[in-house]
Amino acid sequence: MTSSQEKHLAALKRAEDSVAEARERVAQDRWRPRYHVAAPAYWINDPNGFSFYRGEYHLFYQHHPYSVEWGPMHWGHVKSRDLAYWEHLPIALAPTEEYERDGCFSGSAIEKDGKLWLMYTGNVWTGEDRDNQLEQVQALAHSEDGVNFEKFAHNPVISAAPEGDVHPFHFRDPKVWKHGETYYCVLGSQTLDRRSGQVLLYRSSNLTDWSFVSVMAGGQEPKEKLGFMWECPDLFTLSGQDVLLCSPQGIAPVGDLYHNSNQSGYMLGQLDYDTGRFEHGDLQLLDYGFDFYAPQTTEDDQGRRILIGWMAMWEDKMPEQARGWAGTMTIPRVLTLENGQIRSRPAPDLAQLRGEGVSYGPVRLAPSASRQELAGVNGECIELEMEFDAGSATSFGISLRVNEASGEETTFTYDRARQKLILDRERSGAGPGGVRKAPFLLQQNRLQLRVFIDRSSVELFAGDGELAMSARIYPSVDSTGIRFFAEGGEATLTALRCWPLDR
C-alpha cells in the first residue's frame, strides 16, 4: 500500500468516527426523514456517482462529515437493491491530495472492466475570495467492490480548463458516459467574463486520457436569461432524443418562474458527436417547488432513466442544522419523454414502503363547509394518491401537516382562473416560508395528484408526471392533519388512497 493510500484510509476513518459520534443523537430528531436518503449526520448536498453496478443502485453525495455547514467535501455513500431501502456504506472519498486539498467536489460514476470508477472535481482555494481565487481539476478513483476506492495514481486527468472563452477556474461536476467505444464527459462552466453559463464536452478512448472537444452548449445568452454558471450537467438519451440536464445559477425571475436562488432544468436536442455541438430547445424546469437542485440520473438494468436530486436550496434557512444534520435527497423519479416533454414519476418501487392503506371516494367538497377531514388520512410519513373533479369551484386543493391550534399547514391549491398549481408554505412551521406557482392545465376538468410526505419534506406530482413540486417544511410533531377544500363552488374528491410509509 502506498503512502497516498494510507493517508486516504486514515482520513476516511477520521471522517467515519466523526459521523459515528453524532449518528445516534441525530437519529432521534423529529424532522429526520424515514424513507428519503440523508447522511447519518452533518451536511450533505449534490447527489454524485448515481449508478447501477452489479445489480445494485449506488448513490454518493457531497458530504461534510465534521459539521452541519458546507465545508471540505467528502463523498458519502449509500446503496440499494430496489430504490426503496437504502444501506449506508463507508465514506468513499476524502480530500487528501494536493490537487483536491479543499474538497472532492461533485462528479459521476461508470463501470469499466468490472470496476466502478468515480470521476470528480478536485478543488483548491488559492486565496480568501472563493469566487475568484480557486483551482479546479478533474480526477478519478476506482473500486473492485464498489465500496473501497483508490485514487488514480496519475490524477488529475484533466488538469486545466481549455483555452478560449472558458473561465480558467470554474469548471466542475463531470458526468461521464460511454458512446460506442468512446468515453465522454460533460463539465459545468462559464465564460471568461462570467456572464454566461456553458457546458464543456470531453472525450477519451480509455477513461484516463481526456481531450477537449468543444463548448457543447451555452456561452451565448446573458446571465439574466440562462444564468452565469451551469453546474452539474448530465447528458443522456430518451426515446431517441438527447437530453441535457443542468443547474443554472443566476437566472432572473420571470413571472412566477425562477424565484429560487438557483434552478434545475433540461433542454431537448441532438448532440453531434463529431462537432461536439448540442443543438437544443429552451430550458424547461424539472421541478417547480422550493427545494430541488443538482439532479443526477442513471440507467438501470430495466432500461429506466432514474433521477435523484438534492432536496434543499443554497442560501435557504435549514432549521435541522441546529439538530446535527442538514439536507436530504428527493425520492427516486423515473423520467420518460412523451409528446416533447420530460415526465417525472415517483419510482414504482416505492410501493414496497406502504403499510395498510385507506380509500375514499367520491367526497363532496362544498365551499360553505369546513375543510374536509377523513378518518385514517393523516400523518407525517405518508403517500397520497387522489383525483379531483373541479366541478364549479374556482379553486380547490389539499392542506397537509395541519395543526388547527397553532395554525400550521402546507397547502396545494389549484387556481382555475389562472390555471396554476400553487404551493404555499407560509405557515409550514420553523423553516422559510414562501409561495411557488406552476402553470398546469386540467384534463377533462380533473386533477390527479400524488403526494409524498416525510417528516420535513413534501413532494407533489401532478397529472401523469407532467409537473413536480418539492419543498422542505418544518412543522411541529403534532401537525399531522390533512384537509381537502373547495372555494367559489363545489368540487369533488372523486378518489383517494392513503398509505403510511416507512423504511
Copy the grid coordinates of residue 398: 389539499
Residue spans of the domains in the chain: they are 3-349, 354-500
CATH topology identical between 3-349 and 354-500? no
pLDDT in tens, 477-502: 999 999 999 999 999 999 999 999 99
Which fold is adopted by the domain 3-349? Tachylectin-2; Chain A (2.115.10)
Reply yes or no on whether the pLDDT at 503 is more than 90. no
pLDDT in tens, 389-439: 999 999 999 999 999 999 999 999 999 999 999 999 999 999 999 999 999
Q: Which of 46, 173, 291, 389 is catalytic?
A: 46
pLDDT in tens, 299-354: 999 999 999 999 999 999 999 999 999 999 999 999 999 999 999 999 999 999 99
- 60: nearest Cα among 70, 49, 73: 49
Backbone torsions φ then ψ of 25, nearest 5 degrees: -60, -45
Mean pLDDT of 102-118: 98
pLDDT at 225: 85
pTM above 0.95, yes or no: yes
Residue 66 CB neighbours (<10 A): 17
Mean pLDDT of 16-40: 98
pLDDT at 54: 98
46 is known as an active-site residue:
yes
Which SS3 state, helix, strand or coil, does residue 266 take? strand
Per DSSP, the residues of 297-364 read EEE-TTS-EEEEEE-S-TT---GGGGGTEE--BPPPEEEEEETTEEEEEE-GGGGGGB-S-EEE--EE
pLDDT at 220: 80
pLDDT at 113: 97
- Contact in structure between 228 and 220 (CB atoms under 8 Å): no
Reply yes or no on whether the pLDDT at 370 is more than 80. no
Average pLDDT of the chain is 97
Query: Which of the four pLDDT bands, split at 50, 70 and 90, describes residue 224?
Result: confident
Domain 354-500, CATH class in plain words: mainly beta
Percent of the chain at pLDDT > 70 equals 100
Q: Which residue has the cell 433540461?
A: 266
